[in-house]
Chains A and B, each alone.
Chain A
Amino acid sequence: MKKTLGAAMLALTAAALPASGAFAQAAPRDTLVALRSIDADNYDPHRSTARSNGEVMYMMADTLVSLDWDMKTVRPGLAESWSVSEDGKTYTFRLRRDVTFCNGKKMTAADVAYSINRWVDPATRSPVRWRAGNVKEVRAVDDYTVEYELNEPFGELLYQLTLFFASIIDKENVEALGANFGVQGFNGTGPYCWESWTPRQQLTLRRHPTYTWGPPIYQNPSPQVERVIWRVIPESNTRLAALQSGQGDVTQYIPHIAVAQLQRLPTVQVTTQPNYLWDYFFGFKVDKPVVSDPAIRRAANMAVNREAVTKAAFFTAAQPMNGYINPAALGYSAEASGLLPGHDPEAARKLLEEAGWRAGSDGIRVKDGLRASFTLYGIQDQVNRQIAEAIQADLRRVGIEMKIQLWDATVAWGKLATQEFDSFIMSYPYVSATDGLALYFDGANRPTPNRMNWNDDATNAALRQARGGLTQEERNTAIGQVQRIVTEANTWIPVAHENLYLAASQRVQGARAHGIYGVALYKGLDIRLTR
């Protein structure tokens, strides 16, 4: 009944929508209309880390290397091959010779050196400069050879270079546009070229006619659609209706509750990416009263029914986490995941009793005059609210009180950088176990993004090894050690691995969800329109 009603309502809105002016025109011929919920503030790979920037950047620009659908294998991109020196400090990339920018200029090693150097230049103030490693120098040896020299080995480098921050840009374009680079125009080597941008409405890209250097993960290395329009529709039901009525062609922004219904509709094709690395977790500030007690954190982990919470917040669109890292990710340790306590409220109550937390008159436990009560901060959205309230109810059942304080996205990041809360809820994309855990558990990353205030010598040492180890095996052992330490300390309550879905209208062929940095369309290749 519930499902039929939902589908009927969806269909109804779709039918009602064409009459409503703004979206009245159907998607134009030979133009792919991609729908999304939010725009980026600019399209400069070094000045915005937003996923909405990445969506367009991957289409307008290329990176030296690309990432396969398995999220583990690095494939050629602008570099056709590369080698790593024995000490792990120097990477030599040999570039393709046939690459040109949208304005026809040939792309050479000098452009690569310029792009990476601009990224790591402190004056650029890229928030993700660390992702490039501890760069000593990036230099053009000749027109088609680049040497990328580091001060210390960085095993993650090739993965980091698949991210859009490492996009190759054109120096003349940057200098000509100044502060308006990525606002008024962008000259890249990607499969699609910048045509126009109306902020918060739409960004239009046109096919790069000479483009033949797409990553080998695609069947056809050239774009087959004349235009791509990235259109912003903030309201999720309107977005879905636009997709169904043919005013949009693809979107990855599907409300979780609608996924199952959408999969049943014959007019919409939904693809998914099993190796999608975007996790929701709940972190404790380990040096704040109440949550500094390991017994509270362990009991909280046992009190929460991850499976039920995941189903309530995501319906069918996520898997409960059984460790700190997705099993599909490079560096995942099954052994460490085994240390995560399972759902057992009875054992949680027993643990709290043994630790001296006795039930108070209102059902909330007390120890030495301290109430088992703490606050949670997070960004105000439907998923976070559902997760937080479900966890709140689970914790109350074992005698722990959690006060929820969700903030509007405009102030949330500032609030989440303070020390005024005891726990927080967060979601994030990552490329590997080391990528994710180094971000959150490195003592040097306090107070943000290491909002746990976790500063442990053993963790820091293992992270150094995980980043700097010369062999993959060495790095895996080290990051496995990190997973063991933080799992045993119950620094998080891991919640859910979100699934990625890409919904496409009937006329779209070849759309497949990729999911690098949360971006489903990636380079936008192999996509064809039948009408």
Chain B
Amino acid sequence: MADIGASAAAVVAPVPASMPKRPGMLRRLVREPVAAIALAIVVLLVLVALLAPWLAPTGPFDNDLSVALSVPGTEGLMLGADGQGRNMITRLLYGLRATLMMGVASVLLGGVVGALVGFAAAFYRRIDGLLMRLMDMLLSFPAILFGLAIAAILGPGISTIILALSVATVPLMARIVRGSAMVVMRQDYIEAARATGMSDARLILRHLAPNCLSPLFVFATLRFGQVILLGSALSFLGLGAQAPMAELGAMASEGRDFLFFAPHIAVIPCLLIFTIVLAFNLLGDALRDALDPRLRV
């Protein structure tokens, strides 16, 4: 039986608890120029998204139909205006905020639930088979299909997308966590802790979980990029953010109608999505390299 489902876990072996992993990790990470740039972009994007209300030149919903479809470079509109005459800079800032929030929420929610399932499966071997078959079932559904089904039941909205992406993240995370937790479970210190009469919950929280964190982080970072891409696709299909809320995928979808006449409305949000996904993927790769003890020199 293949214990380890996803690729990230196959590469990243869990770090034994005895080894100090904090010092030097960040330095190892930024030693690679590509990783340093990726990290800088991620930090910048997050900062910009957090500060959107202060950075945006106009309110998120302020429109002026008389400047609709203005091209980038128009006076007062550096990146132009969209079909409703809203400043593209404002829309992008708030769109970035919504998109990143969607990604964070999905990865957090799906990741936490998935990790709990993974720990439970590794710790309580009796329910392992049942849990993993459930995860297999979830794995067999494409995320887009989930999104469509959930939107049909709950109606479209950003929470619909978060739910769909979380559900799609759970089985992947569960498999990775279970794989690394099973390795840690065989370590002597777990036996020792158990011998002291520690409760299951404490054992998982204090000894098992901390030692499975690194593959989990790597996966979460890589998954973040995928989630942004999937979420944008669902938004593009009209299942996500509803007007007048800005969201990058939805902005691309709006701009599609004007592709020949005002290409900037669709192209700029797409470029931003591209940047986010690329930055997170590079960062994920770098994290994996930095955290892998076998690559340590």
Cβ–Cβ contact B65 & A309, under 8 A: yes
When A2-B71, A403-B242, A405-B242 are in contact, do A9 and B260 touch as well, CB less than 8 Å?
yes
A-B contact pairs, 9 of them (CB 8 A): A2-B70, A237-B259, A261-B261, A305-B65, A312-B65, A380-B238, A389-B84, A403-B242, A404-B244
A386 at the interface (CB under 8 A from B): yes
Cβ–Cβ contact A392 & B244, under 8 A: yes
Cβ–Cβ contact B155 & A405, under 8 A: yes
B262 at the interface (CB under 8 A from A): yes
Cβ–Cβ contact A312 & B84, under 8 A: yes
Cβ–Cβ contact A237 & B260, under 8 A: yes
When A1-B71, A9-B261, A385-B254 are in contact, do A390 and B242 touch as well, CB less than 8 Å?
no
A6 at the interface (CB under 8 A from B): yes
Chain B residues closer than 8 Å to A84, beta-carbon distance = none
| Chain B: CB-nearest residue to A10 | B260
Residue from the list B85, B254, B261 in contact with A312, Cβ < 8 A: B85
New A-B pairs, 11, CB < 8 Å, besides A257-B261, A389-B84, A393-B244: A2-B70, A2-B262, A9-B261, A305-B65, A311-B65, A312-B68, A393-B84, A404-B243, A404-B244, A405-B155, A405-B156
Complex: A389 Cα to B83 Cα, angstroms: 10
Nearest-CB distance from A306 to chain B (Å)?
11
Complex: A6 Cα to B263 Cα, angstroms: 9
A50 at the interface (CB under 8 A from B): no
Number of cross-chain contacts by CB at 8 Å: 67
* Chain A interface SS verdict (over half): helix
Cβ–Cβ contact B243 & A388, under 8 A: yes
A419 at the interface (CB under 8 A from B): no
| Number of residues of chain B lying within 8 A (CB) of chain A | 26
Complex interface bits, A394-408 against B, C-beta within 8 A gives 1, otherwise 0: 001000000111101
Cβ–Cβ contact B69 & A308, under 8 A: no
Chain A residues closer than 8 Å to B83, beta-carbon distance = 312, 386
| Chain B: CB-nearest residue to A6 | B261
When A312-B65, A312-B68, A312-B85 are in contact, do A5 and B261 touch as well, CB less than 8 Å?
yes
| Chain B: CB-nearest residue to A408 | B238
Please give the residue numbers on chain B whose beta carbons come within 8 Å of chain A beta carbons, in ascending order.
61-63, 65-66, 68-71, 83-85, 155-156, 238, 242-244, 254, 257-263
Cβ–Cβ contact B84 & A390, under 8 A: yes
Residue from the list A1, A13, A311, A406 in contact with B238, Cβ < 8 A: A406
When A2-B69, A5-B261, A257-B258 are in contact, do A393 and B63 touch as well, CB less than 8 Å?
yes
A382 at the interface (CB under 8 A from B): yes
Complex: A255 Cα to B260 Cα, angstroms: 11
Complex interface bits, A133-160 against B, C-beta within 8 A gives 1, otherwise 0: 0000000000000000000000000000
Nearest-CB distance from A317 to chain B (Å)?
13
When A388-B243, A389-B84, A404-B243 are in contact, do A308 and B258 touch as well, CB less than 8 Å?
no
When A389-B243, A406-B238 are in contact, do A308 and B259 touch as well, CB less than 8 Å?
no
Chain B residues closer than 8 Å to A385, beta-carbon distance = 243, 254
| Chain B: CB-nearest residue to A8 | B260
Chain B residues closer than 8 Å to A10, beta-carbon distance = 260
Chain A residues closer than 8 Å to B68, beta-carbon distance = 311-312
| Chain A: CB-nearest residue to B63 | A393
Q: Indicate the member of A237, A312, A388, A408 with the most B CB atoms within 10 Å.
A: A312
